[in-house]
Chains A and B, each alone.
Chain A
C-alpha cells in the first residue's frame, strides 16, 4: 500500500513523488491535502495533492526539504512504502467560470496551484499565471502550468530566469493591463501576505490556500487555527482555502514559528546522524 511509483527532482531540495493511493486518487479534488507520516517515529504533516491519476491509482506530492519530516519524505525512493497516508482532506476548491483568473504561485506553492489552474481552465476561465521563486532552479512545474494557462509570467528574485522582481510586481503588471475577476494565491506565508495586499488594493476577490501546523488533519487538534475575518477557523476542516483579504497572515506566520527551535534542533540532529551513518 502507498508505494512510491516514481520520483523526480526539480532541484536538490524539491522532489516530486508519485505514490500509489487508488482511493485517494479517485476521491480527491483540486485543493485537497493529505497527511503523511514516514517511519514509526515520524511526524504527521500535511501536504497538498499536486496531481492525481485515477487510472494508475496514484497521487503526486511535491515536497520541499525544510525540516526532518519533509526530508524523510524526499528521501523515499521508488518502491518504498509511505508508512501512513490519509486523505483527501479539507474542502475542495470552489470552481466556476469567474472570467479572468490571476493564479499566483510562489516556490513549491506552484504544486498545489497546478490542479486549481487546471480545473479553472476547464471551467472556461481565462487563466493568467504568475509563478515566482528566489532563482531559476526553484521554479517548478512551469511546463504543466503553461499547459493549462493562457499566459504565464515567471518572476525570480535574482533575475536568473524570467523577469527580475517579486511576485507582486508580476501581478501588478497583469492587473494594470486587464480586468481580473478572481485571484488564487498559494505559496510561503509572507508571499501570500503581500500578494493578498496587492489584490486587495485593486479590489480583486482572492483566495489563499494555507499550510499550517497540523497533528491529525481531521479537526481534532486545533493546531492549525487561523483568524479569518476576526473568527477562529480550522485550516484542516474549514480550509485550506480562505478569503485572502480576511486572513490574519501575521498571526499565521507567528503560529508557524511556534516550534521553530525544535525543528532546527531536530534537523541538525537528523543530519548529524545521517552523516555518521554515511561514514560507517
Chain B
C-alpha cells in the first residue's frame, strides 16, 4: 500500500466519516483561528517562563473542528516528516488526545519540540486549504501538534512506538541534535542497535545549547529523549567521532552504518574591524553559556556578559533568541541590527512578533561596519551603515546595498553576532576520502543521503549548512530508510 492509499484508507474510517458529517463545512470555515495564550510581554521579558502557554482542551477541540478533513490533504505535503495531519487533528476534535499524540509519533520522534519551533507558516499551514483556497488564516496545526504532544507528556501515559525484534546490527549516530534523534527513532523501530555519540555533556544538540528555555523548555526535550531511551536507543556523551575515536575504530567495534548529524556548529563572523573586542561574541557562545551551562542561574560557575545596551546582529531565529535572552539578563536597551527589511527576515513570524512585544528595537536596513572599543579593549560603540534594497540575489531575497555617507554611531556594551554558521569541520577533517563541498558541507546523494563513503549517511545542517529543526528531522528519517535498505542489501550479499 502506498502512502496516498494509506491516507485514503485512514480517512475512510467510520469515526472520521461521522465527524465530517457532524458539522457542516460552512460552520467549520466560519470559525476564527484560535489565539495562542501567551505570558504578558512585561512579565515574560524578564523571566525564562515559556512565552506560549499552550491551548486549553476546549480551544484545541474548537480549532481542530475548523479542519474540514480534505479529501486531498495538501497540508501533509508541506510537512518535511509527512505527519498524517488530518488524522491527528481529527483525533483532537473527537477528544482522543492520546491517540492524536500516537499519530504524531508515527512519523515524528519529537512532536512537542516541532509544535514549538517549526516554521509552520512556511510549511504545513502554508499548504492548508484555508490558506490556499479561502485565502484566510490556516488551521493552527502547530499549536495543535504542541497541544497533543504536551497532553501526552503531562498525562504520564506516554506511548512508546512499537520496536521490531532486535536484528543485532549496530549503527552509530554522530550528534544528538534533531537529525540524529529522528534517525535513531526510526532505526530503533526497525530493530537496529542504535548508539548516539554526542560531543557535549548533554543530549539534544541545538535543542539544548541553542534554543532558549522561554521558547523550548529543556524538560520537554528530555521527555522526548527518554522515549527514545525506552525504545532501546543508547546514548554516549563526551564522545567526538574523529577525535575520541575514528570511524575506522568504530567499524572495528562492530558498527555497520553511520549517520552524521553533527550540525553547523561553527559561528560566522563578518570580519569587520573591532570584532575581536571584549564584549563582542557569537550567538552560539552567548546562548551556549546560558542554555547549556546555566550561566544565568545562581550557583553556576560559567559566567556571561550582562550588557546594559545589547545589539544583536542578524535576523534569524537565533538572533531573536539572543536579543530576547539579553532582555532576560537585565539589559536596558536591546536592538536587532539587520541589513535587509522586516519582510526578508528569516526568523519565524511569531518570534519577531514576540520580540517586538517585549520591547526589542529593530534597526532594519542597517549594517555594522566597525566596533569601537574603550582603552581596555571592551566594545563601547558600533559604527552602523544604512542600507537599501537592490536586486534579488541567488536566494531570491533582495540584496542590501550600502547607502553612501550614511554611517552613524550607536552605543553598545555587548554585541552578539548572529549572522549564520558553517558546518563543523571535525568529522570531515578526520575522513580525507569523504567528499565535502567548498563550504564544508558533506556531499550526499539527494535521494538516499548516502555520502561518498557507502556506510556513511549524513543529514541536517552538516549537509544543508544551516536550516531548521524539522528539515534536519526529515533528513534523519530519510537517511534511516535508505540506510536500512543499504544494510539489508549488504547482509543479503
Given A37-B201, A255-B276, A216 and B300 contact (CB-CB distance below 8 Å):
no
Given A219-B266, A254-B377, A258-B279, A86 and B244 contact (CB-CB distance below 8 Å):
yes
Cβ contact of B269, chosen from A87, A232, A259, cutoff 8 A = A232
Is the Cβ of B301 less than 8 Å from the Cβ of A42? yes
Q: Does A85 contact B (CB under 8 A)?
A: yes
Q: Does B432 contact A (CB under 8 A)?
A: no
Is the Cβ of A86 less than 8 Å from the Cβ of B199? yes
Given A23-B245, A88-B243, A221-B267, A41 and B424 contact (CB-CB distance below 8 Å):
no
Cβ contact of B426, chosen from A69, A218, A221, cutoff 8 A = A218
Is the Cβ of B276 less than 8 Å from the Cβ of A218? no
Cβ contact of A232, chosen from B237, B240, B245, B271, cutoff 8 A = B271
Give the secondary structure class of B's interface: loop
B278 / chain A contacts, CB cutoff of 8 Å: 254-255, 257-258
Is the Cβ of A266 less than 8 Å from the Cβ of B238? no
Q: What 1/0 mask marks residues of chain A from 82 to 115 whose CB sits below 8 Å from any chain B CB? A: 0111111100000000000000000000000000
Is the Cβ of A232 less than 8 Å from the Cβ of B244? no
Is the Cβ of A86 less than 8 Å from the Cβ of B238? yes
Is the Cβ of B267 less than 8 Å from the Cβ of A27? no
Q: Does A222 contact B (CB under 8 A)?
A: yes
Q: Give Cα distance in the complex from A41 to B424, angstroms.
A: 27
Q: In the complex, what's the smallest C-beta–C-beta distance from B11 to chain A, in angstroms?
A: 45
Q: Does A54 contact B (CB under 8 A)?
A: no
Q: Does B99 contact A (CB under 8 A)?
A: no
Q: Does B425 contact A (CB under 8 A)?
A: yes
Q: Does B255 contact A (CB under 8 A)?
A: no
Is the Cβ of A86 less than 8 Å from the Cβ of B240? yes
Q: Does B83 contact A (CB under 8 A)?
A: no
Q: Would you list which residues of chain B between 411 and 456 have a CB under 8 Å from chain A?
A: 424-426
A172 / chain B contacts, CB cutoff of 8 Å: none
Q: What 1/0 mask marks residues of chain B from 273 to 316 whose CB sits below 8 Å from any chain A CB? A: 00110110110110011001110000111110100000000000
Q: Give Cα distance in the complex from A69 to B301, angstroms.
A: 7
Q: What 1/0 mask marks residues of chain A from 184 to 221 whose CB sits below 8 Å from any chain B CB? A: 00000000000000000000000000000001101111
Q: What 1/0 mask marks residues of chain A from 240 to 280 whose CB sits below 8 Å from any chain B CB? A: 00000000000100110111001100100000000000000
Q: Would you list which residues of chain B between 96 and 142 have a CB under 8 Å from chain A?
A: none
Q: Would you list which residues of chain A between 50 and 89 have a CB under 8 Å from chain B?
A: 68-69, 72, 83-89
Is the Cβ of A221 less than 8 Å from the Cβ of B284? yes
Given A37-B201, A41-B301, A69-B301, A237 and B426 contact (CB-CB distance below 8 Å):
yes
Q: Does A148 contact B (CB under 8 A)?
A: no
Name the residue in A85, A225, A259, A266 with the highest tally of chain B Cβ atoms < 10 Å from its Cβ: A225
A226 / chain B contacts, CB cutoff of 8 Å: 276
Q: Does A44 contact B (CB under 8 A)?
A: yes
Give the secondary structure class of A's interface: mixed
- In the complex formed, the residue of B with least CB distance to A82 is B238
Is the Cβ of A223 less than 8 Å from the Cβ of B285? yes
B294 / chain A contacts, CB cutoff of 8 Å: 41
Name the residue in A44, A83, A257 with the highest tally of chain B Cβ atoms < 10 Å from its Cβ: A44
Q: Give Cα distance in the complex from A44 to B279, angstroms.
A: 20
Cβ contact of B301, chosen from A68, A86, A88, A227, cutoff 8 A = A68
Q: Give Cα distance in the complex from A219 to B423, angstroms.
A: 10
Name the residue in A85, A232, A262 with the highest tally of chain B Cβ atoms < 10 Å from its Cβ: A262
Q: Does B239 contact A (CB under 8 A)?
A: yes
Name the residue in A86, A215, A218, A227 with the highest tally of chain B Cβ atoms < 10 Å from its Cβ: A215
Q: In the complex, what's the smallest C-beta–C-beta distance from B308 to chain A, in angstroms?
A: 15
Q: Would you list which residues of chain B between 198 and 233 have a CB under 8 Å from chain A?
A: 199-201, 209
A116 / chain B contacts, CB cutoff of 8 Å: none
Q: Does A4 contact B (CB under 8 A)?
A: no
Cβ contact of B243, chosen from A69, A89, A222, cutoff 8 A = A89
Is the Cβ of A263 less than 8 Å from the Cβ of B276? no
A223 / chain B contacts, CB cutoff of 8 Å: 281-282, 285
Q: Does B376 contact A (CB under 8 A)?
A: yes
Given A215-B302, A266-B303, A222 and B201 contact (CB-CB distance below 8 Å):
no
Q: What 1/0 mask marks residues of chain B from 13 to 52 whose CB sits below 8 Å from any chain A CB? A: 0000000000000000000000000000000000000000
Is the Cβ of B301 less than 8 Å from the Cβ of A266? yes
Cβ contact of B239, chosen from A86, A215, A237, A259, cutoff 8 A = A86
Q: Give Cα distance in the complex from A150 to B292, angstroms.
A: 47
Q: Does A154 contact B (CB under 8 A)?
A: no
Is the Cβ of A43 less than 8 Å from the Cβ of B267? no
Is the Cβ of A89 less than 8 Å from the Cβ of B303? no
Q: Does A167 contact B (CB under 8 A)?
A: no
Q: Give Cα distance in the complex from A140 to B303, angstroms.
A: 31
Is the Cβ of B276 less than 8 Å from the Cβ of A84? no
Q: In the complex, what's the smallest C-beta–C-beta distance from A56 to chain B, in angstroms?
A: 18
Q: Does B359 contact A (CB under 8 A)?
A: no
Q: What 1/0 mask marks residues of chain A from 17 to 57 whose CB sits below 8 Å from any chain B CB? A: 00000011001000000000100011110000000000000
Cβ contact of B240, chosen from A41, A87, A254, A266, cutoff 8 A = A87
Q: In the complex, what's the smallest C-beta–C-beta distance from B291 to chain A, in angstroms?
A: 11
Q: In the complex, what's the smallest C-beta–C-beta distance from A210 to chain B, in angstroms?
A: 14
Q: Give Cα distance in the complex from A72 to B243, angstroms.
A: 26
Given A84-B237, A225-B276, A218 and B265 contact (CB-CB distance below 8 Å):
yes
Is the Cβ of A221 less than 8 Å from the Cβ of B299? no
Given A215-B288, A232-B271, A87 and B244 contact (CB-CB distance below 8 Å):
yes
Is the Cβ of A219 less than 8 Å from the Cβ of B377? no
Is the Cβ of B425 less than 8 Å from the Cβ of A237? yes
Q: In the complex, what's the smallest C-beta–C-beta distance from A1 to chain B, in angstroms?
A: 9
Name the residue in B201, B237, B266 with the highest tally of chain A Cβ atoms < 10 Å from its Cβ: B201
Q: Give Cα distance in the complex from A120 to B84, angstroms.
A: 62
Q: In the complex, what's the smallest C-beta–C-beta distance from A113 to chain B, in angstroms?
A: 22
Cβ contact of A85, chosen from B238, B265, B289, B305, cutoff 8 A = B238
Q: In the complex, what's the smallest C-beta–C-beta distance from A26 to chain B, in angstroms?
A: 8
Q: Give Cα distance in the complex from A42 to B201, angstroms.
A: 11
Name the residue in A24, A88, A216, A232 with the highest tally of chain B Cβ atoms < 10 Å from its Cβ: A216
- A215-B293, A254-B377 are known; give 5 further A-B pairs, CB within 8 A: A69-B301, A86-B201, A89-B240, A220-B424, A221-B289
Sample (23) of A-B pairs whose CB atoms are under 8 Å apart = A24-B244, A27-B243, A27-B246, A41-B300, A43-B301, A87-B244, A215-B288, A216-B265, A216-B288, A219-B266, A221-B282, A221-B285, A221-B288, A223-B281, A225-B269, A232-B269, A234-B266, A237-B426, A254-B376, A255-B278, A257-B377, A258-B378, A263-B303
- What 10 A-B pairs have minimum CB-CB distances, sorted nearest first? A262-B303, A254-B377, A221-B285, A86-B238, A43-B301, A220-B265, A258-B278, A222-B282, A84-B201, A43-B302
**Which A residues form the contact surface with B (CB < 8 A)?**
23-24, 27, 37, 41-44, 68-69, 72, 83-89, 215-216, 218-223, 225-227, 232, 234, 237, 251, 254-255, 257-259, 262-263, 266
**Which B residues form the contact surface with A (CB < 8 A)?**
199-201, 209, 237-240, 243-246, 265-267, 269, 271, 275-276, 278-279, 281-282, 284-285, 288-289, 292-294, 299-303, 305, 376-378, 424-426
